[in-house]
């Protein structure tokens, strides 16, 4: 049943993924729920709900993800990083979390799912090094803090992809003057009866 729900949801999102990628997405869901019993990675326990609330919710931003290396901040259970890495095997996806057990899960998931394009880091993002074309977050922090903690990691011309629930107008009004809001995109996630928005931001010159 989950395979049908996933396939239907992907079709509704306009995302065409091969059968192997869909199998890996469901395998990731199973792995997440299995480890969740010990590691408390997600509040969700229902496998069917995890398809909409985790897999499809993560993949709803896929059309906005560009070709350059992506850093997913506060990845926790690997959302949206792992679903994006499964859907785009050519995309380099790094994930960072300050909690050791969550970083361990991310590494193990990459191994078990055979995802060669994933790097997992146990670190504070403000202490990381490197340059990334795009930096994503899902329920990590308010946007101003997300930007200030990761600004040194954004490559020239890069973009922040902030996944939010309701449209965060108050957060956007308090951003530094040199931060440009490139787009505010309402997301319609199949099977999820809640507001979702993707906020795309750039650093101005």
Contact criterion met (CB below 8 Å) for 160 and 183: no
Mean per-residue pLDDT, 145-160: 97
Least confident of 37-41, 78-82, 170-174: 37-41
CATH fold label, 2-203: Rossmann fold (3.40.50)
Arithmetic mean of pLDDT, 46-53:
86
The pLDDT of 151-177, averaged and rounded, is 96
- Greater confidence (156 vs 45) lies with 156
CA distance 115 to 89: 8
* pLDDT number for residue 1: 72
Q: How confident is the model at residue 139 (pLDDT cuts 50, 70, 90)?
A: confident
Q: Model confidence at 205, in pLDDT bands (50, 70, 90)? A: low
pLDDT at residue 137 in the model? 96
* Token couple for 172: 């956007």
What are the pLDDT digits (tens) for 86-114?
999 999 999 999 999 999 999 999 999 99
Pull the structure tokens for residue 15: 């995302």
Cβ neighbours, 10 Å, residue 8: 14
Write down the pLDDT at residue 36: 84
């Amino acid at each position: 049943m989950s395979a049908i729900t996933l396939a239907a949801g992907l079709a509704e999102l306009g995302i065409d993924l091969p059968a192997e990628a869909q199998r890996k997405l469901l395998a990731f869901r199973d792995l997440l729920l299995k480890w969740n019993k010990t590691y408390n990675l997600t509040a969700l326990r229902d496998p069917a709900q995890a398809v909409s609330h985790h897999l499809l919710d993560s993949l709803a931003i896929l059309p906005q993800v560009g070709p350059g290396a992506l850093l997913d901040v506060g990845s926790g259970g690997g959302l949206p990083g792992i679903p994006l890495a499964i859907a785009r095997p050519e995309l380099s996806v790094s994930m960072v979390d300050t909690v050791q057990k969550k970083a361990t899960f991310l590494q193990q998931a990459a191994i078990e799912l055979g995802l060669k394009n994933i790097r997992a880091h146990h670190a504070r993002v403000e202490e990381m090094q490197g340059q990334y074309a795009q930096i994503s977050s899902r329920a990590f922090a308010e946007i101003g803090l997300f930007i200030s903690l990761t600004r040194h990691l954004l490559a020239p011309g890069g973009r922040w992809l902030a996944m939010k629930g309701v449209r965060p107008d108050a957060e956007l009004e308090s951003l530094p003057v040199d931060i440009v809001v490139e787009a505010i995109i309402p997301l319609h996630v199949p099977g999820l009866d809640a507001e979702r928005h993707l906020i795309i931001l750039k650093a101005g010159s």
